[in-house]
Amino acid sequence: MKRSEFLKWMSMASLMPFNAFALEAQEKKELRQITILHTNDTHARIDPFPKSHPQYGDLGGFARRASLVQAIRKENPNTLLLDAGDVFQGTPYFNKYRGELDYKLMSKLKYDATTLGNHEFDNGVEGLASTMNALNFPVVNANYWINESSLSNRIKNFIIKDIDGVRIGIFGLGVDFKGLVLDQNHEGFTYRDPISVAKGISRNLKHYLKCDYVICLSHLGYTYEDDRVSDIRLAKEVDSIDLIIGGHTHTFLEEPTLITKSSGKQVIINQVGFAGIRLGRIDLFFNDKTEMIAHTANARLINAQLA
């Protein structure tokens, strides 16, 4: 995308530049555009909500989401599709298929990665292991210590994707099991502090594995009134994360939250509610040194216009 085309496109979208002067320096250079699409807390919502629903009537639906994702990929092949957990539980589809249908459909749509939400453990570890046979894309989680579990070789701490010469590290974090998951349902999984884990793994991705950009798929929750670990805390306390795709609290953010560090670095946080009502989109623009210099963001409502 040339600068003239970029500025024209910018006028039609919400731009939040990390460094406006850096864009000026790109006058005669092409920028690499990478599109991040994301969902969270889809909760077995395969069909749209009934038209009679008082709040979300005729919104959502996996087929509609698929149509939109396919159109965006056609527009920009350099697209990643990510999910922040709680794919399971919420409709009779889960009662019948125990999550297998969700994972099969996500696989057909070619998700690049998901993480574990607390509801992924609703059928226990063996139930999750069985359902994961329907997956053909990675599950990432770094703060659940997996000991003697059938899933110990199925869940990765992180993955690295090379997109148009930009090296992107992706890792996942899960919420504390206490009060959310029965002990017998997460047998073999031990929760570890997400902040300390994230500091180590993001530093490793950024500085030793030479990732240009680090994404955390977080099922910790956006923010809390108490001191529980949240995406806001994570962004403030961990230095090497660039983007947090969040879940768990079903937070509808009208635009991403930006956390500015003392160094001047900004961390993007985004979350798109629940039930597949919205598809999040963040467009990242990298210069020829693979430095991310600007981004745009929006969340597309999934409605009947996409049918």
* Full residue range of the structural domain in which residue 145 is found: 34-306
Question: Residue 307 — pLDDT band, cuts 50, 70, 90?
Answer: low
Q: pTM of the predicted model, to two decimals? A: 0.91
Mean pLDDT of 281-291: 96
Query: What is the model's pLDDT at position 151?
Result: 87
Domain assignment present for 22 = no
Instruction: Determine the Cα–Cα distance for residues 131 and 123; give it in Å rounded to an integer.
Output: 10
Q: Among 149-158, 182-191, 228-237, which stretch is predicted with the lowest mean pLDDT?
A: 149-158
- Cα 232 to the chain's mean position, in Å? 15
Q: How confident is the model at residue 8 (pLDDT cuts 50, 70, 90)?
A: very low
Please compute the mean of the pLDDT values over residues 259-283 and round it to a whole number. 95
- What is the structure's pLDDT at 3? 43
Distance CA 146, CA 29 (A): 46
In a domain? residue 20: no
Decide if 176 contacts 226 (C-beta within 8 A): no
Mean per-residue pLDDT over the chain, rounded: 91
- Res. 1: pLDDT tops 90: no
* Residue 74 is assigned to a structural domain of this protein: yes
Residue 6 inside a domain? The answer is: no
Orientation angle between helical segments 62-75 and 100-108, nearest 10 degrees = 20
Which residues are registered as beta bridge partners of 280?
A: 38, 299
- pLDDT above 90 coverage of the chain, percent: 85
Asked if the structure places residue 144 within a domain, the reply is yes
Is 10's pLDDT higher than 70? Answer: no
- How far apart, in whole angstroms, are the C-alpha atoms of residue 276 and residue 41? 7
User: Quick one: 4 exposed, middle or buried, by C-beta within 10 A (0-12, 13-18, 19+)?
Assistant: exposed
Q: What is the CATH number of the domain that holds 200?
A: 3.60.21.10
Average the pLDDT over 243-250 and give the result: 98
96-127 pLDDT per residue, tens: 999 999 999 999 999 999 999 999 999 999 99
User: Does residue 247 have a pLDDT over 60?
Assistant: yes
Residue 7 lies in a domain: no
Residue 25 falls within a domain, yes or no? no
Cα 99–chain centre separation: 19
The count of structural domains within the chain is 1
Q: How confident is the model at residue 148 (pLDDT cuts 50, 70, 90)?
A: low
Look at residue 151 and tell me if it is in a domain.
yes
